[in-house]
Structure 1
Amino acid sequence: MTTQWHADSPIYLQLYQQVITRIIDGHIKEGEALPSVRTMAAELQINPITISKAYQMLQDEQIVEKQRGKGLFVKTGAPEKILVREKQAFLSKDWPQIMSQISRLNIDIDELLSPIKEEK
């Protein structure tokens, strides 16, 4: 996890998004425990309440579940649930802005695909 925080967003939201990204990317798997609040706070040198807020968001969204005496664990099906949600958010929010920029700059499909074709 990163220790560099952006001033434009609260740290707990950035931490929440980092955990989401790590789950999507497979770095944190279904059934795997998240690091404890104390461990994360010490590692990232931030207030434990900040970690708790990010973890609470994950619990509220039913991405992780608390196992009494053991900690927080990624729920079964959470990666797929997150992926569906992130795709929907991208297609409804980010993609229209990207399409608008492509149109404004008069970029054609060949220009967009050239980096992909060059990789092959």
Structure 2
Amino acid sequence: MNWIDVGHIDDIPLRGAQIVKTSIGCVAVFRTDEQEVFATSNSCPHKGGPLSEGIVHGRKVTCPLHNWVFSLETGVAQGADAGQIATYPVRLDGGRVLLDLDEIGKRSAA
């Protein structure tokens, strides 16, 4: 695993997101609760909407373009919507947000 430090959890707004630029493209890092983060692709599979600009509710995000809802845990579209977004390993270490760059590269290449 190649964990990289992408910032402090307090840099991410509560129930919001921050874009992290990696060597393979942009990753959206979401903060759903005081100490809970998720990382996904930033692009909605429907029309390419920027998920980091969507509404975070519970452990889900709603795309700002057409209101498609995705689980931040699994990436699977919710309700009647179809599709899936990539999810990536992310963890907290002393308030620092860490992404597994190796796994992001593998999943983006697939």
Into which bin does the TM-score normalised by the smaller protein fall?
A: under 0.3
Query: What is the TM-score normalised by the length of structure 1?
Result: 0.25
Query: Which one has the bigger helix percentage?
Result: 1
Q: Which has the higher strand share?
A: 2
Larger Rg: 1
Relative contact order, higher structure (CA 8 A, sep 6+): 2
